[in-house]
């Protein structure tokens, strides 16, 4: 069973900002059997144009969750592992990538936040070899990209498709789910990040690439190009401040509408913006620091329907139309069904049209767990060994906006209560 990780793991993206340095490249010839084999399928996006061979590389980074008092550079070496395997022709294509060695000592740093020993994290990258040397070249701080990175296991939508490999040297607190050695983490950029079996198939999306992808091998650090002129990457467009922006969530839970939205003008939070959702003005809640809607028996939101969000402030205006996920039902367990607590609980539901992912949860007394699954999943199994006499399951169909001015998640929630057999 997958284990949900504590909230400290969700700081991954911000911590990656401090990555720096690069190290050795492991050649294609490896003795013995692989310690870990990562496998899955490469799929191009609709706008990707894959015109040449695609290679894979695995990059170890040392700074993930490192203790603050380790001293020295806040980055350290990066170890790039390459294989002499080329994928070309038609896609999608199945892939396998073998790791024959643990990360080098230079990539292992003391862990903080209650974790023990040392650790490193790794990302699988897809790239096109610009200079024909059959390896992924890192980018010196004052240099420029040589190879073109077009896929990353870290940068994925939905977040349930984002993966990383975590290596730790010693036993960790049981609640993390981490074991000494290699650990595969799914939904790494989500609050539902979890340890999954190492043989879990890991999708890898092939894209047009760009600065965010190439910066993963920038020796100055991943996101440094957004603030400084490094690695020949143009961050000017990316860091141009958005004058007016809104982000948050809008949820239809049964017949209850909930919304919590933050409005900023040039990155400064606003309390005096005019915000309307489906024509309904939203008041500003000082305690939540957000514009809030809570309405029972609502008619504002309809499963499968759409609504308009309008924000006006500082002479600027945002007007967006959002789609609600399509209606769906929980099919198991049923309301009148008695479930055996001695067996795993299989939660099943029908498909919600337009959904990016599902957030599913189970609770019963002091027992419970939750996770995110992909849009194609219509079931999930929970461990119920410590459940009480009654239980509740919930499925939340989500649609994520990728609009930088309106980063709003829209969700439709279905809940089912049931009992356990005595």
> What CATH number is associated with residue 358?
2.60.40.10
Q: Same structural domain for residues 149 and 262?
A: no
Bridge-based pairing of strands 406-420 and 244-253 is parallel
Q: Vertex 129, ends 19 and 220: CA angle to 5°?
A: 20
User: Average pLDDT for residues 392-398, to the nearest whole number?
Assistant: 94
Q: Which tokens belong to 99?
A: 């790791």
Q: Same structural domain for residues 230 and 310?
A: no
Report the chain's terminal Cα–Cα distance, integer Å.
25
Q: Same structural domain for residues 99 and 142?
A: yes
In degrees and rounded to multiples of 5, residue 17 shows phi and psi of -55, -25
Considering 239, 262, 281, which residue would you say is the last residue of a domain?
A: 239
| Cα separations in angstroms, 93 against 40, 89, 90 | 9, 9, 7
Q: Same structural domain for residues 137 and 154?
A: yes
Q: Which tokens belong to 158?
A: 């939905």
Residue with tokens 């008695």: 338
Please list the residues that pair with 218 across neighbouring strands: 139
Least Cα distance to 331 among 353, 347, 352 occurs for 347
Total residues found in the chain within this entry: 422
Per the model's pLDDT, the better-predicted residue between 217 and 303 turns out to be 303
Question: How many domains are there within the chain?
Answer: 2
Separation between Cα atoms, residue 135 and residue 103, nearest integer Å: 18
| Candidate from 62-66, 93-97, 294-298 with smallest mean pLDDT | 62-66
Q: Same structural domain for residues 150 and 265?
A: no
Q: Same structural domain for residues 142 and 62?
A: yes
| Cα separations in angstroms, 178 against 70, 111, 193, 194, 338 | 22, 13, 12, 9, 34
Q: What is the DSSP letter of 217?
A: G
Q: Same structural domain for residues 374 and 406?
A: yes
Give the structural domain span for 69.
3-239
Considering 182, 216, 239, which residue would you say is the last residue of a domain?
A: 239
Q: Same structural domain for residues 222 and 349?
A: no
| pLDDT computed for residue 261 by the predictor | 97
Q: Same structural domain for residues 307 and 342?
A: yes
Residue with tokens 């609640």: 175
| pLDDT computed for residue 197 by the predictor | 93
Q: Same structural domain for residues 195 and 305?
A: no
For the stretch 10-47, pLDDT in tens is 444 433 433 333 333 333 445 678 999 999 999 888 77
Can you give the pTM of this predicted structure?
A: 0.54
Q: Same structural domain for residues 245 and 213?
A: no
Helix (H, G, I), strand (E, B) or coil at 16: helix
For the stretch 166-221, pLDDT in tens is 999 999 888 888 899 999 999 877 667 889 999 999 999 999 888 889 988 888 77
- The answer to whether 78 and 62 have CB atoms below 8 angstroms apart is yes
Q: What are the residues whose beta carbons fall under 8 Å from the beta carbon of 252, sequence distance 6 or more?
A: 258, 298, 301, 302, 303, 324, 411, 412, 413
Q: What are the contacts of 210-215 at 24+ separation with CB within 8 A?
A: 211/235, 211/238, 212/155, 212/238, 213/125, 213/149, 213/150, 213/151, 213/152, 213/155, 214/139, 214/145, 214/148, 214/149
Separation between Cα atoms, residue 262 and residue 264, nearest integer Å: 7
pLDDT value at 396 more than 60: yes
Considering 239, 271, 299, which residue would you say is the last residue of a domain?
A: 239
Q: Same structural domain for residues 262 and 235?
A: no
Separation between Cα atoms, residue 99 and residue 122, nearest integer Å: 11
């Amino acid at each position: 069973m997958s284990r949900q990780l504590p909230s400290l793991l969700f700081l991954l993206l911000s911590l990656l900002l401090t990555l720096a340095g690069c190290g050795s490249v492991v050649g294609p010839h490896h003795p013995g059997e692989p310690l870990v084999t990562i496998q899955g399928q490469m799929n191009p996006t609709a706008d990707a144009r894959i015109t040449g061979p695609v290679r894979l590389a695995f990059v170890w980074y040392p700074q993930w969750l490192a203790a603050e008092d380790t001293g020295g550079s806040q980055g350290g070496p990066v170890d790039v592992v390459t294989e002499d395997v080329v994928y070309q022709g038609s896609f999608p294509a199945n892939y396998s990538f073998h790791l024959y060695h643990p990360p080098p000592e230079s990539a292992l740093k003391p862990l903080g936040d209650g974790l023990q020993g040392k650790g490193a994290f790794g990302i699988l990258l897809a790239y096109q070899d610009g200079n024909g040397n059959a390896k992924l070249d890192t980018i010196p701080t004052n240099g420029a990209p040589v190879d073109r990175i077009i896929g990353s296991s870290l940068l994925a939508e939905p977040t349930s498709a984002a993966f990383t490999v975590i290596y730790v040297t010693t036993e960790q607190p049981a609640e993390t789910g981490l074991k000494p050695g290699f650990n595969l983490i799914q939904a790494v950029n989500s609050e539902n990040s979890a340890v999954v079996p190492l043989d879990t198939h890991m999708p890898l999306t092939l894209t047009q690439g760009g600065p965010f992808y190439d910066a993963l091998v920038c020796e100055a650090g991943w996101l440094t190009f957004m603030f400084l002129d490094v690695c020949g990457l143009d961050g000017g467009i990316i860091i141009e401040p958005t004058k007016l922006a809104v982000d948050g969530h809008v949820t239809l839970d049964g017949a209850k509408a909930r919304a919590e939205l933050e409005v900023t003008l040039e990155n400064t939070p606003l309390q005096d913006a005019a915000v309307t959702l489906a024509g309904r003005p939203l008041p500003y809640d000082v305690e939540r620091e957000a514009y809030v809607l809570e309405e029972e028996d609502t008619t504002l939101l309809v499963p499968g329907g759409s609504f308009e969000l309008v924000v006006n402030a500082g002479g600027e205006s945002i007007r967006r139309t959002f789609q609600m996920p399509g209606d769906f039902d929980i099919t198991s367990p049923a309301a009148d069904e008695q479930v055996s607590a001695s067996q795993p609980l299989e939660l099943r539901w029908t498909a919600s049209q337009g959904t990016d992912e599902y957030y599913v949860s189970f609770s019963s007394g002091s027992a419970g767990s939750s996770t995110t699954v992909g849009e194609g999943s219509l079931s999930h199994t929970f461990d119920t060994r410590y459940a009480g006499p009654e239980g509740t399951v919930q499925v939340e169909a989500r649609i994520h906006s990728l609009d930088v001015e309106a980063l709003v998640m829209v969700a439709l929630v279905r809940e089912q209560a049931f009992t356990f057999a005595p």
